[in-house]
Homo-oligomer: A and B are copies of this chain.
Amino acid sequence: MRRMTARPANAHQARLLRLLRDGGPNSRAQLGDQVDLSRSKLAVEVDRLLETELVVADGLAASRGGRRSHNIRLNPHLRFLGVDIGATSVDVAVTNAELEILGHINQPMDVREGPVAVFEQVLAMAAKLRASGLAEGFDGAGIGVPGPVRFPEGIPVAPPIMPGWDGFPVREALSQDLGCPVMVDNDVNLMAMGEQHAGVARTVADFLCVKIGTGIGCGIVVGGEVYRGTTGSAGDIGHIQAVPDGRPCACGNRGCLEAHFSGAALARDATEAAQQRLSAELASRLETNGTLSAVDVAAAAAAGDATALDLIREGGTRTGQVIAGLVSFFNPGLVVIGGGVTGLGHTLLAAIRTQVYRQSLPLATGNLPIVLGELGPTAGVIGAARLISDHLFSPA
Contact = CB atoms under 8 A, between A and B. Distances in A.
Interface string A229-242: 11111111101110
A359 B364 CA distance: 26
Instruction: Report how many copies the assembly holds.
Output: 2
Given A229-B332, A326-B329, A361 B239 contact: yes
B253 A330 contact: no
Contact of A241 (B231, B234, B235, B325): B325
A157 B363 contact: yes
Interface string A16-46: 0000000000000000000000000000000
Given A229-B206, A230-B333, A244-B244, A359 B253 contact: yes
B231 A222 contact: no
A218 interface: yes
A279 interface: no
Nearest to A332: B230
A108 interface: no
A321 interface: yes
Contacts of A363: 148, 157-158, 231, 233, 236
A326 B237 CA distance: 9
B330 A229 contact: yes
Given A253-B358, A363-B158, A325 B240 contact: yes
A360 interface: yes
A324 B241 contact: yes
Contacts of A333: 230
A108 to B, nearest CB: 28
Contacts of A241: 321, 324-325, 359
A364 B231 contact: yes
Contacts of A276: none
Given A236-B363, A237-B329, A241-B325, 4 more contacts: A230-B333, A231-B366, A239-B361, A325-B325
8 contacts: A218-B329, A229-B331, A230-B332, A233-B331, A233-B361, A240-B328, A241-B359, A329-B330
